Amino acid sequence: MANGEEKIVLQYQVPGDDFTRAGEASADLKARLKRLGFPAAAVRKAAISLYEGEINLAIHAGGGEIRVEVTPERIEMWLDDEGPGIPDIALAMSEGYSTAPDEVRSLGFGAGMGLPNMKKYTDSFEITSEVGRGTHIRMAVEIGRS
Amino acid sequence: MKISDIIQILDAQLLTPQADLDREVHTACGSDMMSDVLAFVKDQSVLITGLNNPQVVRTADMMDMICIVFVRGKRPDAGILALANERDMAILCTEHTMFTACGLLYEQGLRGGVH
Ligand SMILES: Nc1ncnc2c1ncn2[C@@H]1O[C@H](COP(=O)(O)OP(=O)(O)O)[C@@H](O)[C@H]1O
Ligand SMILES: [Mg+2]
């Protein structure tokens, strides 16, 4: 990685009240990874996964926090919120399942493909959630496997 | 075809004057659901949509698309155009419906991505 740095840590706050700003973190991550010279496929997978996660923080959780650690081997991302939580994670992970209201659908989201997309594009994906407490996701893209 | 050809075929208006219209495009995707666009990485370069909000530009950016066509006369606002300009994207708008716009472009050789 550039300048011989071992690890780059990035942190972002996702607002819960401004849908138009969701996507700023993933756009920033994408631009940085490109500048660092990471392979295009890996950059895209990480950016899409973070983008879907960011949208979820904005529309389902009332906002949240993102932490990204970038090393030459992997791009690792944590998304944490203190939103309503997910009662049935297996159901939420299935393609097409969505509780998004019509107003979110009219904005182009709420197809129920976000969590499945995140799992599909990352090499490891873990989600834990507690109703009334919040949701935590850790996911990573391995550079060698892209 | 080139982005300039799309303008001609769709009788479209260019809303980002500084965009490079000589760039080649071979594949496109037409959708109003952004998660569907994100679900299939196929190296498409044009997004045709009736949706009008900043997430359209962000989604296209995630997919490395270089041109967005807004159908049915939808006109993106200055904030959306600014996002597109930052990314060197060409923004077009046409009066045609989604179906007709896609049909006209397909007829002239533009294709969906390879699955
Ligand atoms: N951070 C979150 N907090 C609470 N619920 C969530 C969160 N992320 C996802 N969900 C729930 O999981 C469902 C599926 O999520 P997703 O696959 O991204 O689809 P969509 O966002 O289109 O509804 C959502 O509709 C919502 O009920
Ligand atoms: Mg989602």
Q: What is the pLDDT of residues B51-69, one digit of tens each?
A: 999 999 999 999 999 999 9
Rounded to an integer, the average pLDDT of B35-57 is 90
The minimum CA-CA distance between A8 and chain B, rounded to whole Å, is: 21
Q: State the CATH number of the domain containing residue A73.
A: 3.30.565.10
The span from the CA of B29 to the CA of B45, in Å, is 8
Are A113 and B61 within 8 A, CB to CB? no
Whole-number average pLDDT of chain B: 94
Q: Which domains does chain B have, with CATH numbers?
A: 3-112 (3.40.1390.20)
- Contacts across the A-B interface (CB distance below 8 Å): 69
Chain B within 8 Å of A16 (Cβ-Cβ)? Answer: no
Question: Does residue A91 fall inside a structural domain?
Answer: yes
Question: Does residue A75 fall inside a structural domain?
Answer: yes
What is the predicted pLDDT for the residue at A1? 62
Q: Pick the closest to residue A70 from A109, A30, A105 (CA basis).
A: A30
The residue type found at B13 is: Q
Residue B108 phi, psi (nearest 5): -90, 5
Are A112 and B35 within 8 A, CB to CB? yes
Q: Which residues of A touch B49 (CB under 8 A)?
A: 108
Could you read off the pLDDT of A76-134 as tens digits, one per residue? 999 999 999 999 999 999 999 999 999 888 889 999 999 999 999 999 999 999 999 99
Q: Indicate whether A2 pLDDT > 60.
A: no
Task: Name the residue facing A48 among B38, B53, B56 (closest C-beta).
Answer: B38
The rounded Å distance from CA B40 to ligand 2 centre is 15
For A23, the domain range is 13-145
Residue A54 and residue A139 in contact, taking contact as beta carbons nearer than 8 Å:
no
Question: Does residue A8 fall inside a structural domain?
Answer: no
3-state secondary structure B43-100: CCCEEEECCCCHHHHHHHHHCCCCEEEECCCCCCCHHHHHHHHHCCCEEEECCCCHHH
Q: What is this structure's pTM?
A: 0.93
Element (H, E) at A77: strand A74-81
Contacts of A145 by beta carbon, 8 Å cutoff, 6+ apart: A123
- Atom of ligand 1 lying closest to residue A134 CA: 3
Question: Does residue A7 fall inside a structural domain?
Answer: no
- Domain count of chain A? 1
Ligand with the closest atom to the CA of A57: 1
Are B35 and A51 within 8 A, CB to CB? no
Say whether the ipTM exceeds 0.90.
no
The span from the CA of B102 to the CA of B27, in Å, is 11
